[in-house]
Amino acid sequence: MQYNFNPLVIRGKSLIPIVQGGMGVGVSASKLSSAVARENGIGTIASVDLRHLHDDLLAESKVNPTEEKYCKLNHIALDREIQAARANTEGKGMIAVNVMKAVKDHQALVRQACESGADAIVMGAGLPLDLPEMTEGYHKDVALLPILSESRGINIVLKRWMKKGILPDAIVIEHPAHAAGHLGAMTVDGVNDEKFEFKRVIEETFEVFKKLGLESEKIPLVLAGGMANFDKITTALKTWGASAVQIGTAFAVTEEGDAHLNFKKTLAGAPTEQVVEFMSVAGLPARGVRTKFLDNYIKREAKLQANAKADPRRCTQGINCLSVCGLRDGLEKVGQFCIDIQLAAAWRGEVDKGLFFRGKDPLPFGHSIRTVHETIQYLLHGHVAENLQLQAG
């Protein structure tokens, strides 16, 4: 594929400068990730609760359910998705697995991803300080990409990893004011802090590299959040010094996206004013479409938080998927709902019941559902075919 940007080089492999972001529950699995990899990009499987994609595992999880059983079945599902993705890449690109640090089972999921043959591990939703330990024994085979939002966190992670003789293969810099899902800020108001501006973070990160003697390492910086726009990509890669961009929502709505068509239509059809921020049950700000569920929840949020109390029975599924859960742990300043139930409903296309994470910015094709190939053609060239009218904002 010809394009006017430098390739993203990971572990000596030359790739297009496009990384598909990980999106759970089930939104980015084997079908989407392999389609991106076939374009010679990095396709990402989100490791959160993939049992929903496998009827036999979902049925089994309802028979004498236990937390241990849920974890086991999710590991089987992750292995299946990685194997299916790898079988469909045509030997191109890379298959990464996104593991949220906030997930209780994150260490075991990282190990499973490595054992199943993932090319890379991407970790955010918390400082991935111990990711090198989690991948012990796989450092020669698995690339490590931490997700961070500002230079202070990057500095902390680099210093910790350097003590172990490990460096990131790339660093994903996610802007909380634009990204979808869980955001790298402490509060909803904090997502717009100037310290997260891409140009500033890149400049400060280059200074961090200089102070730590890492300039010669040429660690790629990947910008995430609102980057599904050719002009923005051009600025990031040609002017700011980034090596690639990570994009989620624009891939979630493609034909190959693993979620239900209703999910894709909900994201693609959401007007800007309906994309809102709120506090997630995981203790982080989040961004999604204000559908019926989220609208009702936001209206009742203050009352629900006032009645928060620690009670294991509030985890009605018994999954205990998060290390910290506002609903289960009675944390009155964060979310008070079961995120797994709501995200799974969204994946199934249940518009009124689901929680639909979405980025803040316009999508390349407006309300249209296009292919991964067409999306990447636009991202790399600013157009797909002659006479095609794009709605890039």
Query: pLDDT for 221-266, tens place per residue?
Result: 999 999 999 999 999 999 999 999 999 999 999 999 999 999 999 9
Low-confidence spans in the chain with pLDDT less than 70: 1, 385-393
User: What's residue 319's pLDDT?
Assistant: 83
pLDDT at 306: 95
Taking the C-alpha atoms of residue 181 and residue 169, their distance in angstroms, rounded to an integer, is 24
Rounded to whole angstroms, what are the CA distances from 316 to 80, 201, 311, 313? 27, 41, 10, 6
Total-model pTM: 0.94
Report the C-alpha gap between 83 and 152 in whole angstroms.
37
Q: Which domains does the chain have, with CATH numbers?
A: 8-267+361-381 (3.20.20.70), 270-357 (no CATH)
DSSP H helices, 235-371, are 249-252, 261-268, 292-306, 326-329, 339-347
CA–CA gap between residue 375 and residue 70 (Å, rounded)? 35
Backbone angles phi, psi at 199, to 5 degrees: -60, -45
Quick count: other Cβ atoms within 10 Å of Cβ 228?
26
Task: Give the model's pLDDT for residue 187.
Answer: 92
pLDDT number for residue 264: 98
- Report pLDDT for 385: 62
